Chain A
Amino acid sequence: MDMPVRQAAAAALAITVNGEARRVEVDLRTTLLDLLRNQLGLTGTKKGCDHGQCGACTVLVGGTRINACLTLAVMHEGDEITTIEGIGTPAALHPLQRAFLDRDAFQCGYCTPGQICSALGMLAEAGAGEPSQATEDLAAETCELTDAEIRERMSGNICRCSAYPQILEAIRDVAATASGVGGAP
Chain B
Amino acid sequence: MRPFTYERAETAAGAARAAAAPGARFIAGGTNLIDLMKLEIERPAHLVDVSRLPLAQIAETAEGGLRIGAMATNAAVASDRRVRTRYPVLAQALLAGASAQLRNKARIGGNLVQRTRCGYFYDPAKPCNKREPGAGCSALEGLNRTHAILGASEACIAVHPSDMAVALSALGAGIETVTPAGEARTLGIDEVHRLPGETPHVETNLAAGELVSAVTLPPPPEGRQSYRKVRDRASYASALFSLAIAGPALALGAVALKPWRAVAAEAALARGASAAEAAEAELAGARGRGRNDFKIALARRVIAAALQEGRG
Contacts and interface: CB of A to CB of B under 8 A. Distances in A.
Interface of A: 2-9, 11, 28-29, 31, 50-52, 55, 58, 64-67, 70-72, 74-75, 77, 118, 121-122, 125, 128-133, 135, 138-139, 151-157
A129 B30 CA distance: 26
A70 B105 contact: yes
Interface in B267-297: none
Given A70-B105, A122-B100, A133-B96, 13 more contacts: A4-B14, A4-B18, A6-B7, A7-B6, A51-B38, A66-B101, A70-B30, A77-B8, A121-B101, A128-B79, A131-B95, A133-B235, A152-B234
A133 B11 CA distance: 35
A66 B27 CA distance: 16
A7 B5 contact: yes
9 contacts: A4-B9, A4-B18, A6-B7, A28-B4, A65-B100, A71-B105, A72-B47, A155-B235, A156-B99
A125 B100 contact: yes
A75 B6 CA distance: 10
A132 B102 CA distance: 13
Given A6-B7, A70-B34, A74-B6, A55 B18 contact: no
B217 to A, nearest CB: 16
Dominant secondary structure of chain A at its interface with chain B: loop
Nearest to B34: A70
Q: 6 closest pairs, A vs B, by CB?
A: A156-B99, A155-B235, A2-B14, A4-B7, A130-B79, A155-B236
A71 B96 CA distance: 22
Nearest to A122: B100
Contacts, number: 125
Contacts of A129: 79
In the complex, which range does the number of interface residues on chain B fall in?
A: 35 or more
Contacts of B51: 75
A64 B99 contact: no
Nearest to A118: B101
B47 to A, nearest CB: 8
Contacts of B30: 70-72, 75
Given A138-B85, A139-B84, A9 B3 contact: yes
A151 B235 CA distance: 9
Contacts of B88: 138
B84 A4 contact: no
A77 B11 CA distance: 18
B78 A11 contact: no
A51 B98 CA distance: 13
A177 B274 CA distance: 51
A4 B101 contact: no
Contacts of B78: 130-131
A132 B95 contact: yes
Contacts of A11: 6
A38 B98 CA distance: 28
Interface string B1-38: 10111111111001000100000000100110011001
Given A71-B30, A72-B30, A139 B101 contact: no
B6 A138 contact: no
B192 to A, nearest CB: 24
A29 B1 contact: yes
B61 interface: no
B5 A6 contact: yes
B5 A8 contact: yes
Contacts of B101: 52, 55, 58, 65-67, 118, 121, 156
A135 B92 CA distance: 10
